[in-house]
Amino acid sequence: MGKQDDIFIEGNLSGLPFSFNEEVTEVFEDMIDRSVPGYKTSVNLVDYYSRQYSRDNSYVYDLGCSLGASTKVLLDSVNDKNIKVISIDNSAAMIEKCNKLFSSYVDEGRLELKLEDINISEITNASVVVINFVLQFLDRDKRTLLIEKIFKGLNPGGGLLISEKVHFQSDRESKNISLLHHLFKEKNGYTKMEIAAKRDSLEGVMVTETEEVHFQRMNRVGFSRGEKLMSNLNFATYLFIK
């Protein structure tokens, strides 16, 4: 585990929009663990389902890999198959750290790390694609294009594992759950001030959608079936099969 996240403590407020820069990279593991309910479960689900859906002689992708929590479980879960893991992030700091953490896998040819915008990445011959808490950071008008590209790149029977923060159709439900989420963060040691400052800096950077919007998009794009695997407050993991 890296350094403790104190980016938003009182007197340390940059007022800048949130970005995945060096400062965030240094504290990222602590930040995501203390901020996202069910985060570890989402990674365990990647482990479980990638074992079921990955196929010999294909690629598996981790889009928006950050420090490679899913990449690590993908590498373990496809260990006995002839599969290359391709992990992509557009944060130079994240990919630089991944290059250090995973150098042996890269040297063995089992992993390719790419510093790239996933909007322009090529996805091909994929048996599994993982996009864990990333779509929410893309421009809304680019999301369907990315999901269409993933669908095209997946082999028939392949699986897309997606985790997202969501909001609800009812404003009241969104407000109540958001309150519980803030309590979750307080329990994990964040102050009210830190929570408010992070929320402000994420304004317009992370834009959530409802579960219904996600299902409609996947349906329109052509996924034959989809299911919710887990939800924890306003965070959820889904599996869609081509």
Using CB under 6 A, list all residues that contact ligand GEK.
20, 32, 64-66, 69-70, 88-91, 94, 117-119, 132-134, 137-138
The amino acid sitting at 5 is: D
Query: Which amino acid, residue 202?
Result: L
Query: Backbone phi, then psi, for 209, in 5-degree steps?
Result: -130, 170
Residue 28 in tokens: 């990222």
Question: Given the complex with ligand GEK, which of 134 and 224 has the nearer CB atom?
Answer: 134
Least distance (Å) from ligand GEK to the CB of residue 136?
7
Contact (Cβ atoms closer than 8 angstroms) between residue 53 and residue 128: yes
Is there a contact between 2 and 27 (Cβ–Cβ < 8 Å)?
yes
Give the pair of three-digit tokens for residue 124. 């091909």
CB 109 to ligand GEK: min, Å: 23
In the complex, residue closest to ligand GEK by CB? 64
CB of 207 to ligand GEK, least distance (A): 12
> Quick one: 83 or 146, whose CB is closer to ligand GEK?
146
- Shortest Cβ distance from residue 24 to ligand GEK (Å)? 8
Among residues 57 and 119, whose Cβ is nearest to ligand GEK?
119
CA distances from 158 to 88, 93, 151, 191 (A): 19, 31, 9, 42
State which residue, 54 or 66, has the beta carbon closest to ligand GEK: 66
Helices 22-35 + 39-53 axis angle, to 10: 90
Minimum CB distance to ligand GEK smaller for 61 or for 133: 133
Closest approach, Cβ 19 to ligand GEK, in A, equals 8
